[in-house]
């Protein structure tokens, strides 16, 4: 079954060479279990299809580039109980992050397509931070199903949520974060202190920021 699926994609790509294809993994719905439903499985499928490509134009492109990648959706990743930042980092590590779909979702559950950041905003911010550290310059697609507000307001809210999250991320002390990551034995609890202050409306009411050891 998995072979036929990959072979079918490769056949279509060889018929129209040079076209990149993005796969969007989803663990279930409409079926109880969808093949290639998790991020790691999507990367395996992308690699499998690329190995099956035979058109000379496609083979030439693959010498320096990728032709099959992923379009991970936040909701689908969380439906599969994956850690969002880790899942995005895998796609980036293998050069397979072609696009992103943004919404929010409780872990597991059915595909809800809630507005960006209304559930587990810390997961979204962690994923955005990973993308920043990898230098992602692609698009941010909104994939939502607003049921209790006008569509235009929902889209604007989602765009604003991503902008607000990225603004917080861009103002983080990145050198301090790297120091906490590389020397955790010298900076126990410091990264948590940094994030608490980043989310505070008035950091001056908090205790003094502890010193970061480099």
pLDDT recorded at residue 56: 98
Q: How far apart are CA 182 and CA 130, in angstroms?
A: 16
Instruction: Say which residue the tokens 């969002």 belong to.
Output: 84
Q: How far apart are CA 104 and CA 189, in angstroms?
A: 28
Q: Give the containing element (helix H, strand E) for 83.
A: none
- Give the closest residue to 180 by CA, choosing from 197, 167, 165, 194: 194
Same domain, 165 and 196: no
Structure tokens at 137: 């310059």
Mean pLDDT of the chain: 96
Q: Which domain, by its residues, includes 193?
A: 173-214
Same domain, 158 and 197: no
Same domain, 167 and 180: no
Is this model's pTM higher than 0.85 or not?
A: yes
Q: Where residue 75 falls among pLDDT bands split at 50, 70, 90?
A: very high
Q: How far apart are CA 16 and CA 33, in angstroms?
A: 30
User: What is the total count of domains within the chain?
Assistant: 2
């Amino acid at each position: 079954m998995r072979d036929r699926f990959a072979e079918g994609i490769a056949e279509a790509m060889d018929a129209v060479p040079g076209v990149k294809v993005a796969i969007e993994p989803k663990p279930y719905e409409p079926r109880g279990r969808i093949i290639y439903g998790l991020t790691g499985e999507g990367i395996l499928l992308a690699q499998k299809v690329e190995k099956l490509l035979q058109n000379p134009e496609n083979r030439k492109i693959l010498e320096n580039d990728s032709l099959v990648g992923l379009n991970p959706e936040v909701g689908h990743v969380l439906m599969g109980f994956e850690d969002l930042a880790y899942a995005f980092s895998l796609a980036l590590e293998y050069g397979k992050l072609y696009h992103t779909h943004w919404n929010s979702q409780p872990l597991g559950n059915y595909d809800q397509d809630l507005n960006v950041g209304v559930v587990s905003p810390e997961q979204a911010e962690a994923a955005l931070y990973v993308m920043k550290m990898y230098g992602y310059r692609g698009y941010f697609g909104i994939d939502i199903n607003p049921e209790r507000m006008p569509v235009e307001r929902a889209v604007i809210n989602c765009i604003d949520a991503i902008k607000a999250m990225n603004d917080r991320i861009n103002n983080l002390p990145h050198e301090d974060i790297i120091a906490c990551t590389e020397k955790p034995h010298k900076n126990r609890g410091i990264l948590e202190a940094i994030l608490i202050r980043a989310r505070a409306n008035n950091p001056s009411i908090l205790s003094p920021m502890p010193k970061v050891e480099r």
